[in-house]
């Protein structure tokens, strides 16, 4: 049985209703209870169907779920639901495979904890988390990530993420740095990528027929779901897509190039322990000089990384990159008049 959006939150709500001996919960009541809670979490949540609740009940009764012992009491033509033993709760059920999978999904987006509703996701699996794991969750901050809490567009991360999961087409109002005013276009979102404390979303722009159209999330003015046929990504393996670049910029028809850089002084040790790219091969020339060789596509992000090392690096090859870095440094000197 497919596990759809917000299933574990619904299971908790149903569990609470089934164990309530003071109220009769008919199918309409169960639907309403789920609707209220889900809309409190996300106001954009639409209503829950009767079929969805019945599927949830079947799952909870199955061996894949909790094997709950649920009674159905008939009053006239209507049926209400209640545990045979109202002291029972799925909260007491051991941590299972279903919850481990949900936890793994939450961990995947841990770095965007303030952008995507990770807290709600973790709360939704709490019925299956044993006491030892709960102790870990309640110990407070044990690890910190490099994060920018003031980044524009963070509030859109949840909707973008869920649109990728649900395969929804979006109408995006966007204002890039080159445009004088915002513009609107249709977008099929496929992949979220974080780089240098910024988030980017990749997807299909049907107007230009590009499946790796790249949008900076902080430049998105608004997004809204539209009723259009979603075109799935069948071309790009995103893990492989980023293997040949640093950052997120991949120029059309760009080729992988061999690059040679020489680093000097203490910076050499830093570059050895933190490679610029997975293709890096390092060779010590002497105690004060390190040669590294890279094979990747040259883009803006790579150029900025090289420039960030200042006088501690020299571009030896290719000549075109060496000249570009040299010209950038020369232009920078023009900003200083003393």
pLDDT truncated to tens, each residue of the chain (338 aa)? 333 456 888 998 999 999 999 999 999 999 999 988 888 877 777 778 899 999 999 999 988 788 899 999 999 989 999 999 999 988 776 555 455 555 555 555 554 445 555 545 554 554 455 444 555 455 555 556 666 666 777 788 888 988 998 999 999 999 998 888 999 999 999 999 999 988 999 999 999 999 999 999 999 999 999 999 999 999 999 999 999 999 999 998 899 999 999 999 999 999 999 999 999 999 999 999 999 999 999 999 999 999 999 999 999 999 999 999 999 999 999 999 87
Give percent helix, percent strand, percent coil of the chain, each to the nearest 5: 40, 25, 40
* pTM, two decimal places: 0.63
Beta-carbon count within 10 A of 249 CB: 16
pLDDT score recorded for residue 3: 38
Nearest CA to 259 out of 283, 230, 301, 291 is that of 291
156 DSSP assignment:
G
Residue with tokens 């060496």: 322
């Amino acid at each position: 049985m497919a596990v759809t959006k917000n299933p574990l939150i619904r299971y908790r709500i149903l569990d609470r209703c089934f164990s309530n001996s003071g109220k009769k919960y008919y199918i309409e009541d169960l639907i309403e209870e789920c609707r209220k809670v889900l809309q409190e979490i996300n106001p954009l949540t639409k209503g829950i169907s009767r079929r969805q609740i019945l599927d949830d009940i079947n799952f909870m009764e199955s061996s894949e779920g909790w094997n709950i012992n649920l009674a159905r009491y008939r009053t006239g033509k209507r049926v209400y639901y209640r545990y045979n033993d109202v002291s029972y709760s799925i909260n007491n059920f051991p941590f299972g495979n279903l919850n481990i999978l949900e936890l793994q999904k939450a961990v995947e987006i841990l770095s965007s904890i303030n952008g995507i509703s990770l807290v709600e996701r973790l709360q939704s699996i709490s019925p299956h988390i044993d006491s030892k794991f709960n102790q870990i969750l309640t110990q407070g901050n044990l690890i910190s990530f490099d994060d920018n809490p003031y980044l524009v567009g963070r509030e859109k991360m949840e909707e973008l993420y869920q649109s990728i999961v649900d395969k929804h087409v979006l109408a995006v109002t966007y204002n890039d740095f080159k445009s004088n005013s915002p513009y609107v276009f249709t977008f099929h979102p496929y992949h979220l990528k974080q780089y240098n404390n910024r988030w980017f979303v990749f997807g299909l722009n049907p107007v230009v027929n590009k499946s790796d159209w790249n949008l900076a999330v902080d430049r998105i003015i608004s997004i809204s779901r539209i009723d259009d046929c979603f075109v799935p990504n069948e071309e790009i393996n995103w893990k492989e897509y980023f293997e040949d670049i640093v950052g997120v910029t991949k120029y059309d028809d760009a080729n992988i190039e061999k690059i040679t850089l020489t680093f000097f002084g203490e910076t050499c040790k830093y570059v050895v322990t933190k490679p610029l790219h997975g293709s890096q091969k390092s060779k010590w020339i002497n105690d004060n000089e390190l040669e590294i060789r890279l094979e990747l596509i040259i883009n803006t992000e790579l150029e900025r990384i090289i420039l960030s090392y200042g006088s501690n690096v020299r571009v030896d090859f290719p000549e075109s990159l060496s000249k570009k870095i040299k010209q950038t440094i020369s232009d920078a000197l023009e900003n200083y008049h003393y």
